[in-house]
Structure 1
């Protein structure tokens, strides 16, 4: 109960500024047909047009490029129109309608393109008074969907680039925040993880936005270069953080940390300025700060050659300087591309090719189909017009996870009570449909404004809309309000019953597979480092991160099952896997090992073998094989670094300080790789111990 209460409280947190303009547009698309219907004397038709527009908005996604939004809105209009026609066709056949509604609900859960709005269209059309034929009902519903589409994307020629610019700005802002955090030692792991997650999400959103625009080949290459530059900043920033943390642990004096943090802060400001204003005035200051850090590193290097500082630590600082240089060049490149801009002609939006259908798995489609079938059968026996609220509540409340179902039921019942009571009060104080239109308009404006900012407020304001729109031409009084609330609560109880009794713990069966997948992907990532293929490392990093996200999602779903609780050790495995990937990124930023590689490849192979052994143990539910002696090989790496340091100092004494000898290449790799390999090994062993099957 405590988790459910916390989740409900979180639903009412306003995460961003409400979209008041979007709310007003949606309210306009709903109230205009109602007003026209009342004025012209065609109230049922006007209400049907408004309801069609309302259901169509379920398919809208305001953050997408306009071509994608038009496609989604038109698909939603088509499906809602077909749903309304199907509901009107089955209206004369009650008992066949029971089976049809169950099948449609099951299909919507199995094939997401058949959205919840189309299922609602079938139910609301079936239960509405038979005032129109099926073709007429489809016609007015389509009119409402097209009107809403026109209002929402009518400004496309003027604002066509806005989603692209917003995605670009958010990605740059998030990366700038991550870059600033690289120098904050006092920042907590939770805060750092939140910044990292925000940067990854924003970068992925930018990639999706870029892919949805139809632009010239030249501009397409420019955007691809920009995206690659942002990705490079992310990877180098992660590597910089790992290497900086390792350098702080050495015996070298710490004056360099202030200069490094000054340089990263200046680069963050330059990046933020470039993506928000398109200017590059902050770039020279950032390059100057980088220059001061470079001078400090050179002083430490010369001191190390003279025996005044440990050579491995000086080499590690040299690698940090190279990471910083790559970040600086990338930030300057972003600033130049932002200043030049990308021109996109005023051509029609890109709709894209037909996509491969996506189907859901698991028991939820069958559970939803059975619940809706039973709800329809019970309401047919009741012979009550308002019975649709029982069926509709089951449709919108029953979710794949039990806890999500509880949240939906509570919010749905609350929203129905607010809407029914509000409508009854409005008509009691000032009878007349014009006053009801004002109330509906206010609910629509507030609901759609909060749609992307707070799910709780969206539900509270949006639930009354479907209620009042579908019953707009009927009598609304206190008795009707009470009946709606009672039927909504009864429908929620049926949804909870099905969520609790039919396959409530399906996630447990998938968890072992997700664990094994995550371990295997991270093992493949570590092994790709040994092969020294940069493109393969980047691809494997992405795959490993996705596998960890799927594993984390499974844990979240497990928490939402009745009596479910993900073990804390499995929760702890998620940040451990993230730190493992960070060490991989740090190692991939290092120069190649060359001939003096030492035991680097051996350590990587042993780490990958350990992860694969545990993955096999998870899949077979057998004890994992004994771990290899990684500590011994890491000690060999330390001895290898010491040997290379002594040989390099001998070369310096002989006058080869500036020559790129084999020994210099070897220590450049080994000294910088040693802390990252230690971190990689420690995190891999920690990950394996957390996930390995318990005897």
Structure 2
């Protein structure tokens, strides 16, 4: 049940957009009330409502032109719905055509994709409205009101929608800094766990920030602003991996625990304030300087070194404390650089952006023919949703159920290409309708007068559109009262209609589930194994390029190793995200194999852990890598342990990796012994042994952890 209300990842309420829609959608009703024609105002409000769903953003001129087209098409569809009332077969054929075209989307034309199912919605609304209210005896009058509402919406949004500014991009850029701060705070509080999703959330925030910043390099972008923002993204990427590397060093030694906790908490606070500087340049408080906490940690490490020199503490404890201190120093340096750059770019946060319009696909007969095969997911879905919506329309029409158009609308809103997504959407739609419809019934019964309803509608519209990006259930909770209260303007006090429409929504949602199950279903559990294998291959590619960067940082035959590793990482992240999405949907589908789904989840968790370790390893990459015996053999055997065909071959490669790690540990043990002998005479000197340990030990620790992860994955093939 909680998943029905879970916010979408990276989403946030769009309060300003909600207020703009409150004015743009609610104003026609207010005008109608003011001039004594609330029913006409409600029809115009309906026109704004269906136009709002075709608003896909973009440059002002292109957006407004698209909304004018949408208003016209929706008004024509509404008029057609009025005309075909009583002509059941013709109404059915029109519905079939509109639904099929909407489902094919860009395979037909970019405009068709932008209009979506709104023309079909307007057709159903026109059929339900015909012969009632101000349209009675006045053919086409209601359609003109719908057109006027749509044109008003296009005009109002052109005037009220603020021009995009750099602060919107900076708000996205602040995301990875904020998430990295939370990750560090959990590390400081010793609440980081092996199954912690903090790193995954931080990486997802980083990718969203990169996508937002790409608009600065695109058509209509600003190269100067891009030059200011991109270094912030580079620092964010560095901090993401440094935070992961620190988290995987484990708990700090008891001798420095208090100082480590204070230093990590100060670093987290420094990061969080940097994020606030990006989102609220004028109100961000001055950042505390974390050097005192780092100085305390350094003194604690020096005291621990003295105890190790006298044999009162093992050297391994000092080595771990040293690794953690050095990572915190690097985090502090990267954060200080990021804060300096954030302060430099914050002054430009109000700069207007003028992004170019994305190209829109025109009609291409060859592309359409290629898409119209049963091998195409789009075509199968188009056939499925067309058949189910037509069947529901015919059924409720034949039985004569009141408000039957709501059942057909539920099909259009609920049925998705995958059954698991359909099941989730059905739950959200029904839950939202039950909550929103009940609230609407209470409001209809308790509130009289169109003026009070108009004020209520403004609040409902604003809240609904503000929360629409967060979760579909929230939108339905507010969207249902919106439509029901509009209907109450034409038929005051009919609170029973709310429950009739809830019943129609349940029928439509059930029909969508049945159709999704019976008609050319696309099962995620059927493709889960393939997507898990794709994620495994992509993660192996990331492992290979990361190790290659470590083994051969200056190989002329393999230029730009950091860039290749980053490309491999992004490919692996995308493949893993698709596999996780299939796994989540598969476990809700009927007929799935629970053991297979659970096995896939274990494999994906292992791959996610491997990728987090690789990111942490990348944080230790240097132009001159440390000498480590067997590093080349490790780089050859580790990927092979995941890709070899037979279990015996995979096991042999995994054992070879373990043997290489044992050799590296022996090498470190020798360095530890030499360093321990140096401590008394050269405790603070930067000797070659100390430098070798400083560079090599964190790499060996991570390689050992990666070897364990590879060993587990090699026993569970995908």
Deviations 1:455-482 (A, max 9, x none): 4443122113234546854677367556
When residues 310 and 88 of structure 1 are mapped into structure 2, their CA distance, relative to the original with a 3 A threshold, is: same
Output aligned runs, 1:184-583, within 5 Å. Answer: 184-189=189-194, 192-193=196-197, 195-213=198-216, 216-245=222-251, 248=252, 254-277=254-277, 278=281, 281-284=286-289, 286-297=290-301, 314-315=318-319, 317-340=321-344, 341-343=346-348, 347=352, 349-354=354-359, 361=377, 363-381=380-398, 386-399=403-416, 400=418, 401=420, 402-411=422-431, 413-414=433-434, 417-418=437-438, 421-422=441-442, 425=445, 430=448, 433-452=450-469, 455-469=472-486, 472-473=489-490, 477=494, 480=497, 483-504=500-521, 506-532=523-549, 533-564=561-592, 565=594, 567-583=597-613
When residues 223 and 11 of structure 1 are mapped into structure 2, their CA distance, relative to the original with a 3 A threshold, is: closer
Supply the distance in 2 between the matched residues of 1:379 and 1:557 (Cα, whole angstroms). 31
Q: Does 1:638 align with 2:665?
A: yes
The Cα of 1:545 is off from its aligned counterpart by 2.4
SS at match of 1:550: helix
When residues 625 and 292 of structure 1 are mapped into structure 2, their CA distance, relative to the original with a 3 A threshold, is: closer
The answer for the alignment partner of 1:37 in structure 2 is: 32
SS at match of 1:561: coil
Supply the distance in 2 between the matched residues of 1:380 and 1:419 (Cα, whole angstroms). 28
Supply the distance in 2 between the matched residues of 1:534 and 1:301 (Cα, whole angstroms). 35
Supply the distance in 2 between the matched residues of 1:655 and 1:16 (Cα, whole angstroms). 54
The answer for the alignment partner of 1:132 in structure 2 is: 140
The Cα of 1:105 is off from its aligned counterpart by 4.5
The Cα of 1:557 is off from its aligned counterpart by 0.8
Supply the distance in 1 between the matched residues of 2:502 and 2:312 (Cα, whole angstroms). 80
The Cα of 1:298 is off from its aligned counterpart by 5.3
The answer for the alignment partner of 1:101 in structure 2 is: 98
The answer for the alignment partner of 2:557 in structure 1 is: none
The answer for the alignment partner of 1:27 in structure 2 is: 22
Of 165-174 and 366-375, the range deviating more from structure 2: 165-174
Supply the distance in 1 between the matched residues of 2:125 and 2:248 (Cα, whole angstroms). 57
Output aligned runs, 1:101-180, within 5 Å. Answer: 101-108=98-105, 113-125=114-126, 127-129=128-130, 131-132=139-140, 136=144, 139-150=147-158, 153=161, 156=162, 160-180=165-185
Contact 2:294 2:329 in 1 (8 A): yes
The answer for the alignment partner of 1:679 in structure 2 is: 705
SS at match of 2:248: helix
Supply the distance in 2 between the matched residues of 1:43 and 1:303 (Cα, whole angstroms). 84
Supply the distance in 2 between the matched residues of 1:289 and 1:656 (Cα, whole angstroms). 23
Deviations 1:9-37 (A, max 9, x none): x4699x99977665454333333212323
Contact 1:424 1:477 in 2 (8 A): yes
SS at match of 2:715: helix
The answer for the alignment partner of 1:54 in structure 2 is: 49
Contact 1:29 1:151 in 2 (8 A): no
Task: Give the TM-score normalised by the residue count of structure 2.
Answer: 0.79
- Runs of 5+ consecutive residues of structure 1 not aligned to the other structure: none
Task: Give the TM-score normalised by the residue count of structure 1.
Answer: 0.81
Supply the distance in 1 between the matched residues of 2:681 and 2:424 (Cα, whole angstroms). 71
Supply the distance in 2 between the matched residues of 1:69 and 1:255 (Cα, whole angstroms). 61
SS at match of 2:238: helix
When residues 598 and 304 of structure 1 are mapped into structure 2, their CA distance, relative to the original with a 3 A threshold, is: farther
SS at match of 1:106: helix
Contact 2:173 2:232 in 1 (8 A): no
When residues 200 and 116 of structure 1 are mapped into structure 2, their CA distance, relative to the original with a 3 A threshold, is: farther
- Runs of 5+ consecutive residues of structure 2 not aligned to the other structure: 85-89, 550-560
SS at match of 1:49: helix
When residues 300 and 113 of structure 1 are mapped into structure 2, their CA distance, relative to the original with a 3 A threshold, is: farther
Supply the distance in 2 between the matched residues of 1:331 and 1:106 (Cα, whole angstroms). 47
The answer for the alignment partner of 1:607 in structure 2 is: 638
Supply the distance in 2 between the matched residues of 1:255 and 1:648 (Cα, whole angstroms). 20
The alignment's C-alpha RMSD in Å is 4.2
The Cα of 1:598 is off from its aligned counterpart by 0.7
Supply the distance in 1 between the matched residues of 2:12 and 2:630 (Cα, whole angstroms). 54
SS at match of 1:567: helix
When residues 138 and 659 of structure 1 are mapped into structure 2, their CA distance, relative to the original with a 3 A threshold, is: same
The Cα of 1:211 is off from its aligned counterpart by 3.1
The Cα of 1:255 is off from its aligned counterpart by 1.8
Supply the distance in 1 between the matched residues of 2:565 and 2:302 (Cα, whole angstroms). 31
Aligned length in residues: 661
Supply the distance in 1 between the matched residues of 2:61 and 2:259 (Cα, whole angstroms). 50
Supply the distance in 1 between the matched residues of 2:158 and 2:179 (Cα, whole angstroms). 33
Of 469-478 and 385-394, the range deviating more from structure 2: 469-478
SS at match of 1:243: coil
SS at match of 2:188: coil
Of 442-451 and 570-579, the range deviating more from structure 2: 442-451
Deviations 1:165-221 (A, max 9, x none): 43344443222121222233244455x42x334423333333333333566433321
The answer for the alignment partner of 2:554 in structure 1 is: none
